């Protein structure tokens, strides 16, 4: 496990990339109990999405801060989303379903399908807040299943956010490039993350217990090779040990205002005790 705030004598500057290239589709999962800061991070990613590309947020609670320049989608949903002409700014849509509707499960999956079926030549972002209402265990709609298996081939980046990973289709974690873990007190949730991501359960529990207010862990399924080599050389450890240390990083709380920034920090590599990650 590594810390993004440790400035110990053996620490080396570490570039922690928090802003990602929209042209390279990513799957990001964010988990934490209510009030831990998970939605705030998702909102930062949303705000940082390049304005030339379009995006859709599915917002069951109506609490997601999506900004002022938003087109609200209402039922019945359109058959397809009309993207702006090339060169024009992207459109940002928000869908707030009627959670009391008898057709809410179908409505939510249709909204997911709107993102899935946009022109795959153009990057698109789908954000799902409260992911357990869209991708429950043993109750995941066909469009969400398509996203798990095909989103990367369609230039579609996906960010999901929720309180309990144990309530969500395990594919969500196993397909994630990055997993952000805020305060997550329930052992079943901790064990689900550890087992699916290949993190030693005891070390993950210890890391979660050590989180301060609004601090979080970032799991990276494939740490940058240059960072791995740098840490291995500076710490006198093997590249595998360095890779394990960089797989899970303890991150500081986000600043209250401003856009999400990359971090230039110092870190001390520690053995992450990683195990084989579950993939499908």
Is 257 contained in some domain? no
- Give the pLDDT confidence of 106-153 residue by residue, as tens digits: 999 999 999 999 999 999 999 999 999 999 988 999 999 999 999 999
Is 48 contained in some domain? yes
Higher pLDDT, 127 or 221: 127
C-beta neighbour count of 235 within 10 angstroms: 18
Residue 236, Ramachandran bin (φ over 0: left; ψ between -120 and 50: alpha; else beta): left
Helix (H) or strand (E) holding 267: strand 263-267
pLDDT score at 272: 38
Distance CA 41, CA 260 (A): 8
The C-alpha angle with vertex 125 and arms to 119 and 126, in degrees rounded to 5, equals 105
Is 176 contained in some domain? yes
> Are residues 2 and 250 in contact, defined by beta-carbon separation less than 8 angstroms?
yes
Confidence category of residue 45, pLDDT binned at 50, 70, 90: very high
Higher pLDDT, 108 or 5: 108
- 165-192 exposure pattern, b = at least 16 Cβ within 10 A, e = fewer: bbbbbbbbbbbbbbbbbbbbeeeebbeb
Of the candidates 233, 31, 266, 226, the residue with the CA atom closest to the CA atom of residue 135: 31
Is 4 contained in some domain? no
Structural domains of the chain, count: 1
Q: How far is CA 203 from CA 70, 177, 199, 271, in A?
A: 42, 20, 8, 9
pLDDT score at 267: 39
Of the candidates 274, 39, 276, 24, the residue with the CA atom closest to the CA atom of residue 174: 276
CATH of the domain at 76: 3.40.50.300
pLDDT score at 18: 61
Is 278 contained in some domain? no
Is 116 contained in some domain? yes
Mean pLDDT of the chain: 85
Confidence category of residue 16, pLDDT binned at 50, 70, 90: low
Is 228 contained in some domain? no
The rounded Cα 59 to chain-centroid distance in angstroms is 16
pLDDT score at 224: 83
Range of the domain at 44: 24-182
CB neighbour class for 147 (10 Å; exposed up to 12, middle 13-18, buried from 19):
buried
Q: How far is CA 112 from CA 26, 50, 116, 269, in A?
A: 16, 20, 6, 39
Distance CA 18, CA 28 (A): 11
Q: Which of 70-74, 220-224, 232-236 has the lowest mean pLDDT?
A: 232-236
Asked whether residue 273 carries a pLDDT value surpassing 80, the answer given is no
Is 258 contained in some domain? no
């Amino acid at each position: 496990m590594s810390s993004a705030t440790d400035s110990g004598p053996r620490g080396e500057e570490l570039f922690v990339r928090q802003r990602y290239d929209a042209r390279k589709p990513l799957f990001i999962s964010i988990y934490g109990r209510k009030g831990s800061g998970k939605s705030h991070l998702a909102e930062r990613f949303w705000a940082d999405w390049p304005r030339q590309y379009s995006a859709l947020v599915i917002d069951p609670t109506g609490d997601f801060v999506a900004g002022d320049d938003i087109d609200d989608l209402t039922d019945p949903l359109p058959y397809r989303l009309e993207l702006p002409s090339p060169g024009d700014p992207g459109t940002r849509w928000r869908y707030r379903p009627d959670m009391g509707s008898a057709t809410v499960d179908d409505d939510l999956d249709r909204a997911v399908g709107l993102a899935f079926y946009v022109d795959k030549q153009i990057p698109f972002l789908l954000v799902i807040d409260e992911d357990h209402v869209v991708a429950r265990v043993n109750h995941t709609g066909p469009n969400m299943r398509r996203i798990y298996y095909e989103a990367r081939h369609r230039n579609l980046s996906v960010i999901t956010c929720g309180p309990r990973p144990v309530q969500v289709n395990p594919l969500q974690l196993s397909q994630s490039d990055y997993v952000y873990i805020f305060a997550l007190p329930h052992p079943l949730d901790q064990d689900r993350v550890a087992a699916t991501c290949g993190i030693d359960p005891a070390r993950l529990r210890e890391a979660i217990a050590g989180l301060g207010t609004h601090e979080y862990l970032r799991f990276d399924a494939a740490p940058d090779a240059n960072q791995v080599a740098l840490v291995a050389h500076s710490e006198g450890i093997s590249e595998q040990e360095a890779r394990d240390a960089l797989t899970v990083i303890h991150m500081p709380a986000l600043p209250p205002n401003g856009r999400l920034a990359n971090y230039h920090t110092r870190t001390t590599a520690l053995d992450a005790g990683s195990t084989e990650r579950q993939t499908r």
